[in-house]
């Protein structure tokens, strides 16, 4: 209870003022109690064993948000559980004959296949290169598996393969094995691609995320997801926004050179966007993630498209941006290192890691309020990667 206020004036006036102060204090205590109860309910829900309630797969199971995490934990992790899989990072870290390696795989079903700034080919190479890079590995070799629909134009396939060749050259990797399957007309949507990759881990990351660490994003967010949605032509919106698809291994190397083990963790912000990554960090490390809405770089046309679509840019996928958690001691050096690289010119420090409340992401809004940023529910932008 707060100290009893000192109120001057006549006895009736003092009584009325004291009653008003007591009501305000009671309301404040009730509000604090309700907030605490809400946070406790959220924490219990997060810790509950995930159960897949749906009988059929929906698009939201592939969106990277809450449904995807439930599917992975209730079906795949439950069946395949092992120490290498359990961290559910972008790539598994392996030790083979004394060599430290990272191994990852990803599949690409984007529609349309060609969009401003890229296509399914360079997306497939860059995505796997980025999963290896943010695992702390130097990407080396990739595989490429194609599922083609009967009737798919050979000219389009050659265009996609040419994009993959260029993307591999830019990233400094080789595509060394692959596979091709053709399915009947109407059984696919032209072309799907799976890529897997291995890389060498030469430098360790700096351990667990902890309070005081800084949260950085490497550039404007949401460009890839908005670009693909506008390329479908369903929204009747004109914009010059292009996909940010790009290989991040050079940017990661620059950051690691500058900060070494001061870099705690990195993730590329693909499905589910930045919000999903921040939630994963908060849950895995048992910390609070506190970010500033105004600090996130977002292009005006991306923000405008998101407002028309009714979605938050924090949930929109990127294919050439990453989130880096670094020690607070090296935050300035890390930000300068990112900005020194062409792919990190728009980098920003967007928040800090705190002690409390553990497991939650809190966003300080532009209007001075604070709200919880939860995992993505549903799939507002399907098949964007």
pLDDT, tens digit, for every residue of 176-216? 999 999 999 999 999 999 999 999 998 888 889 999 999 99
pLDDT band (50, 70, 90) for residue 2: very low
**Cα–Cα distance measured from residue 99 to residue 114, given in angstroms and rounded to the nearest whole number:** 38
**Cα–Cα distance measured from residue 264 to residue 272, given in angstroms and rounded to the nearest whole number:** 21
3-class SS at 363? strand
Residue 1 has a pLDDT of 44
Say whether both 176 and 233 belong to one domain. Answer: no
Say whether both 164 and 265 belong to one domain. Answer: no
**Cα–Cα distance measured from residue 252 to residue 135, given in angstroms and rounded to the nearest whole number:** 10
Give rounded-to-5 percent helix, strand, coil for the chain. Answer: 40, 25, 35
Residue 339 has a pLDDT of 98
Q: What is the pLDDT of residues 142-171, one digit of tens each?
A: 999 999 999 999 999 999 999 999 999 999
Distances (CA, A) of 175 to 35, 137, 165, 197: 53, 17, 8, 9
Say whether both 263 and 348 belong to one domain. Answer: yes
Residue 64 has a pLDDT of 84
Can you read off the two tokens belonging to residue 89? Answer: 């990072």
> Is residue 114 in some structural domain?
yes
- Between residues 12 and 64, the one the model is more confident about: 64
Q: Residue 332 sits in a domain of what CATH number?
A: 3.90.650.10
Considering the chain, what is the average pLDDT of its residues?
A: 91
Say whether both 363 and 248 belong to one domain. Answer: yes
Rounded average pLDDT over 99-103:
96
pTM of the model: 0.86
Residue 190 has a pLDDT of 97
Q: Which of 225-234, 303-312, 323-332, 361-370 has the highest mean pLDDT?
A: 323-332
Residue after which a domain boundary falls, among 148, 179, 200:
200
> Is residue 304 in some structural domain?
yes
Residue after which a domain boundary falls, among 60, 88, 116:
88
361 bridge partner residues? 289
Say whether both 240 and 310 belong to one domain. Answer: yes
Say whether both 61 and 106 belong to one domain. Answer: no
Residues sharing a CB contact under 8 Å with residue 231, sequence separation 6 or more, in sequence order: 112, 114, 115, 116
Residue 239 has pLDDT above 70, yes or no: yes
Say whether both 96 and 81 belong to one domain. Answer: no
> Is residue 266 in some structural domain?
yes
Residue 10 has a pLDDT of 65
> Is residue 368 in some structural domain?
yes
Say whether both 96 and 141 belong to one domain. Answer: yes
> Is residue 144 in some structural domain?
yes
The boundaries of the domain holding residue 67 are: 50-88
> Is residue 25 in some structural domain?
no
């Amino acid at each position: 209870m707060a100290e009893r206020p000192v109120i001057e004036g006549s006895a009736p006036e003092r009584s009325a003022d004291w009653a008003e102060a007591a009501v305000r204090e009671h309301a404040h205590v009730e509000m604090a109690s309700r907030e605490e109860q809400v946070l406790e309910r959220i924490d219990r829900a997060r810790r509950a064993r995930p159960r897949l309630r749906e009988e059929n797969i929906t698009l939201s199971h592939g969106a990277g948000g809450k449904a995807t995490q439930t599917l992975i934990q209730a079906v795949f992790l439950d069946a395949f559980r092992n120490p290498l899989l359990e961290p559910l990072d972008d790539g598994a870290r392996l030790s083979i004959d004394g060599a430290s390696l990272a191994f990852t795989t990803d599949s690409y079903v984007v529609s349309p296949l060609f969009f401003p700034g890229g296509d399914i080919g360079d997306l497939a190479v860059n995505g796997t290169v980025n999963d290896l890079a943010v695992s702390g590995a130097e990407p080396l070799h990739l595989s490429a598996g194609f599922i083609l629909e009967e009737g798919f134009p050979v000219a389009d396939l050659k265009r996609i393969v040419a994009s993959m060749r260029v993307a591999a050259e830019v990233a400094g990797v080789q595509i060394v094995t692959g596979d091709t399957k053709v399915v009947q007309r109407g059984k696919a949507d032209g072309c799907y691609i799976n890529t897997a990759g291995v890389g060498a881990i030469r430098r360790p990351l700096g351990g667990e995320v902890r309070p005081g660490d800084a949260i950085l994003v490497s550039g404007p967010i949401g460009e890839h997801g908005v670009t693909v949605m506008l390329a479908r032509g369903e929204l009747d919106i004109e914009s010059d926004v292009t996909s940010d698809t790009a290989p991040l291994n050079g940017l990661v190397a620059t950051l690691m050179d500058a900060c070494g083990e001061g870099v705690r963790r990195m993730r590329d912000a693909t499905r589910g966007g930045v919000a999903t990554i921040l939630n994963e960090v908060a849950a895995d490390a048992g910390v609070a993630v506190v970010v500033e809405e105004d600090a996130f770089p977002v292009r005006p046309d991306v923000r405008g498209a998101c407002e028309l679509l009714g979605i938050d840019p924090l949930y929109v996928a990127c294919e050439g941006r990453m989130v880096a958690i670094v020690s607070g001691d090296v935050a300035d050096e890390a930000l300068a290192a990112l900005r020194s690289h062409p792919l990190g010119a728009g980098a920003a420090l967007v928040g800090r890691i705190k002690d409390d409340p553990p497991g939650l992401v809190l966003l300080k809004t532009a209007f001075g309020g604070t709200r919880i940023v939860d995992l993505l529910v549903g799939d507002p932008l399907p098949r964007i990667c």
